[in-house]
Structure 1
Amino acid sequence: MSRINIDAVQKGLILDEPIYTKTGALLLPRGTVLDERRIHFLKNLGVEWVEVTSKLARKSAKGASGRLTRTTAGAGDHENAPDGAGSVHDQEPPEERAFYDLLREDLLLQVNSAVIHYSQQGSHDREMSDLLALFGGLLRERNRINHLLEMKSTDAFTFKHAVNVAVLAVLTGLAMRLSEESLRMVALGGLLHDIGKKKVPPEVLFADGALSPESRRRIEEHTEHGYDTLVRDTALPEEIALMALQHHERLDGSGYPRRLQGKQIHLFSQLVGVADVFEAMTSTRNHRPGYNPVEIVEYLMGASGTLFPERIVKALLDSITIYRIGSAVQLSNGETGIVVKANPQLPSRPVVRIVFDERRMPMRHEHTVDLSQPSHTTLCIVRSYG
């Protein structure tokens, strides 16, 4: 094993130790063969030193070297293969296959986590199976995995955000009864919608506090950067690039980068845009905590028809669990309780077991309140505690 500077790394050397991001996300596993793309990838991340074996991959492969050489030679042809041709499993050498399988497995684990977090109680198993199959099928082509690798190289937070947005967008699309092909495009577009952030300077992208006008301009350029990256990939439908370009556009023309209005914005872009806002508001950022579910619902409902299409907002809120089972909530009459059951038809009005009265004293006799029932229409949740 040798520790060498990234500038001295030769093509074909093998990693002897895995490489992680500063936030702990695995970038390249032990045993990865370093090619020009991966070396460039590590340099862009600011990696200075790597632990590698002293032998080149071709030599260490011994009897398999002939097969590796032939397969690698064919990989150049695969770059220009049509979408659907050249499966990763069919055409990659073993080392390449292991690398791509690891990234694919990592993505599916994050999809699994997002489905459990967002989908409604009782529908996990069905939705998990459907969504894992859908996302797994997206990652058969090498170009798509390479795009995701670029996403992951930005940072672990951006990658997780992209996965969450993709899952939310697909759940919303299911509620809207989109076709299977449309759902696949929404899923891939959701995963790649922020790929342009790789070209935003880190000091701007990860800045704390309010942004200066210049920094805001640099952030907003990520939509154009993302479109430019994805539209050049002829194996991707143009809708994927449009989702990167348009997910910050708004119905009333107040969005960016082109201030499009209404039907000028592609349906898929609008769908990913609503999912992006919801996920961003629920997440804790460097300069603020995540918003309360009540605040998020109020914002989306208030912006429905002005910034966002009403049917997309309704489909999103109808397809997810807003108040997690076991979370504490305060009602408009001052009482506090625990969410014990979700109401799929009215997700903002779950069943709550009341445990404290309006004076925050323990109830002598706990009871449940189903906020979806007509007898409780005057009650609503005013605060959520997680």
Structure 2
Amino acid sequence: MRKVPVWALKPGMEVARQVYDSNGHLLLNAGVRLEVEYIQSLKKLNIPAVYVVNPLIPDIKVEDVILCDTRHKAMRLAQKILTANLNAPPNTRSFVSRLFSYKKELNEVVDEIISQLLDCRELVINLCGIRTVDNYTFAHSANVAVLSLISATAMGFSRSELRTVGQGSFLHDLGKSLISPSVLNKTEQLLPEERQEIKQHPAYGYDLIKQQPFADSVAAKIVYQHHERIDGQGYPEGITGRDIHVYSKICAIADVYDALVSDRPYRPAYPPHRVLEMFQSGEGGYDPEIFQVFSQHVAAYPVGTVVGLSNGLIGIVVQNYAGYSTRPKVRVFCEKDNLERLPAYEM
């Protein structure tokens, strides 16, 4: 399986993972052979990429760490929460009450994610989500929750602690619901006052939860602190080290990682190995111990990635292992200086 930009799709390619539109409606099922009309429709709907069957590894399937239905349920909930102010003026009793009405659903979604992660012995992220411009924020909320919970699970947190991490990381961008979409989705360089407005979203989200608590106080702290950095270069308060809650440090890494591996209107996605290298450089003020845990469960070279080996061979990643994210199993298929196919073998 490999991720192919829509512009590079060709008739006859087989869809490997279900394709959804920005509203979560199923467009194409796995197993469908692409036709010219399908590709044209995907382009019109601004679907950026599709996972297709890779002929080099047709026998290899890549599973998500949570069920597809659960991920889309989380995305739909994020959409409801983050657009709750569209039918009610922000900071009004009606708006805050609308948010509180989602408390039960939030707990159910977070508990569902936790149960599925706890049932998975080898937690390794091999997939980079495909998102449209319209659903980026909703998918991001769900992904940050999953990534944060993977780290928290690996760190041995109790189920009640996991629920708090899940709530806070899922709601980390809640405050952006009070910021104009024209600012949030701006592709040009932000004006100083616009940048300052965006920096207020942690405080906005924290205040919303405090007005009508639909998450506990520690989850609210994650919302408030997820842009703080241990070197004091974050916001909104510029606090350092131990003053930042460990849950907030977990969310901070998940938030930035997911943003960087995603396509944005102003830049293409970075490959996972490049993002992990950025964190490893020590820049950015992220907790190195938490990053060490996180990096053990995120594949630097996801299944389907073509890699060049130090011995001059070229192969494709077929499996990753928790704890060894930079040392995947590779199926060799040719030499660097001789592209003629070799008998396939794995190493």
TM-score (norm 1): 0.57
1:186 lines up with 2:165 in the alignment: yes
Report the Cα offset of residue 182 of structure 1. Answer: 1.1
Which of residues 206, 210, 233 in structure 2 aligns to 1:254?
233
* TM-superposition CA deviations, 1:17-42 (whole Å, max 9, x none): xxxxx94358xxxxxxxxxxx99643
Give the 3-state SS of the residue equivalent to 2:317 in structure 1.
Answer: strand
Show the counterpart of 1:314: 292
Structure 2 residue runs of 5 or longer lacking an equivalent are 1-20, 26-82, 126-132
Task: Please state how far the C-alpha of 1:287 moved relative to its aligned partner.
Answer: 0.9
- 1:302-344 Cα deviation digits (max 9, x unpaired): 127x611122101111123343223322335554211122132
1:228 aligns with 2:207: yes
SS at structure 2 position matched to 1:348? strand
Q: Does the Cα contact within 8 Å between 2:308 and 2:336 map onto a contact in 1?
A: no
Deviation of residue 243 (structure 1)? 0.8
1:12-66, CA deviations, whole angstroms, 9 ceiling, x for partnerless residues?
xxxxxxxxxx94358xxxxxxxxxxx99643679xxxxxxxxxxxxxxxxxxxxx
Which of residues 167, 170, 189 is equivalent to 1:210?
189
Contact 1:196–1:223 (8 Å) recurs in 2: yes
- Partner Cα distance (2:122, 2:157) in 1: 18
Instruction: Name the CA distance, whole Å, in 2 between partners of 1:263 and 1:225.
Output: 23
Q: What are the residue-to-residue correspondences of 1:41-80 with 2, within 5 Å?
A: 41-42=86-87
Shift of 1:221: 1.2
Matches within 5 A, 1:289-308: 289-303=268-282, 307-308=285-286
Aligned residue for 2:196, secondary structure, equals: helix
* Map of 1:150 onto structure 2: none
Q: Does 2:158 align with 1:159?
A: no
Which structure 1 residue ranges, 5 or more long, are not aligned? 1-21, 27-37, 46-75, 89-99, 128-153, 370-386
Conserved? CA contact 1:162–1:194, under 8 Å: yes
Which residue of the partner structure matches residue 322 of structure 2? 344
Counterpart for residue 364 of structure 1: 342
Which of the two has greater helix per residue?
A: 1
Query: Which AA in structure 2 matches 1:319?
Result: H
User: What is the deviation of 1:159?
Assistant: 1.5
The answer to whether the 8 Å contact 1:353/1:367 transfers is: yes
Of 164-173 and 336-345, deviating more is 336-345
Task: State how far apart, in whole Å, the 1-side matches of 2:136 and 2:84 are.
Answer: 23
Give me the whole-angstrom Cα distance separating, in 2, the residues matched to 1:227 and 1:236: 10
Per mean C-alpha deviation after superposition, the further-off stretch among 191-200 and 319-328 is 319-328
* Alignment-derived partner of residue 304 in structure 2: 326
Aligned alpha-carbon RMSD (Å): 3.8
Give the match for residue 271 of structure 1: 250
Q: Give the conservation status (yes or no) of the 8 Å contact 1:243–1:272.
A: yes
Structure 2 vs 1, CA of residues 315 and 218 (structure 1 numbering), >3 Å: closer, same or farther?
A: same
Letter in 1 for 2:193: E
Deviation at 1:193, TM superposition (A): 0.5
Could you tell me whether the CA contact under 8 Å between 2:329 and 2:346 is conserved in 1?
yes
How far apart are the structure 1 equivalents of 2:294 and 2:85? Answer: 39
The structural deviation recorded for 1:111 is 5.3
Q: Is the contact between residue 335 and residue 360 of structure 1 (CA under 8 Å) also seen in structure 2?
A: no
Counterpart contact for 1:205–1:219, Cα < 8 Å: yes
Question: Counterparts of 2:156 and 2:302 in 1: how far apart (Å)?
Answer: 25
Sequence identity (%):
31
What TM-score comes out, normalization by structure 2 length? 0.63
Structure 1 residue aligned with 2:72: none
Which is worse superposed, 292-301 or 185-194? 292-301
Larger Rg: 1
Which protein, 1 or 2, shows the higher relative CO under an 8 Å CA cutoff with sep ≥ 6?
A: 2
Number of residues paired by the alignment?
253
Q: Deviations over 1:46-94 (max 9, x none)?
A: xxxxxxxxxxxxxxxxxxxxxxxxxxxxxx9xx8xxx9xxx96xxxxxx
**Counterpart in the other structure of 2:222:** 243
CA deviations on 1:153-181 (whole Å, 9 max, x unpaired) are x9632121011000110110011111221
* One-letter amino acid matched to 1:258: E
| Residue pair 2:273, 2:301 contacting (<8 A) in 1 also | no
Please give the alpha-carbon distance, in whole angstroms, between the structure 2 residues aligned to 1:271 and 1:321.
18
Following the alignment from structure 1 to structure 2, what is the Cα–Cα distance between the partners of residues 159 and 358? 41
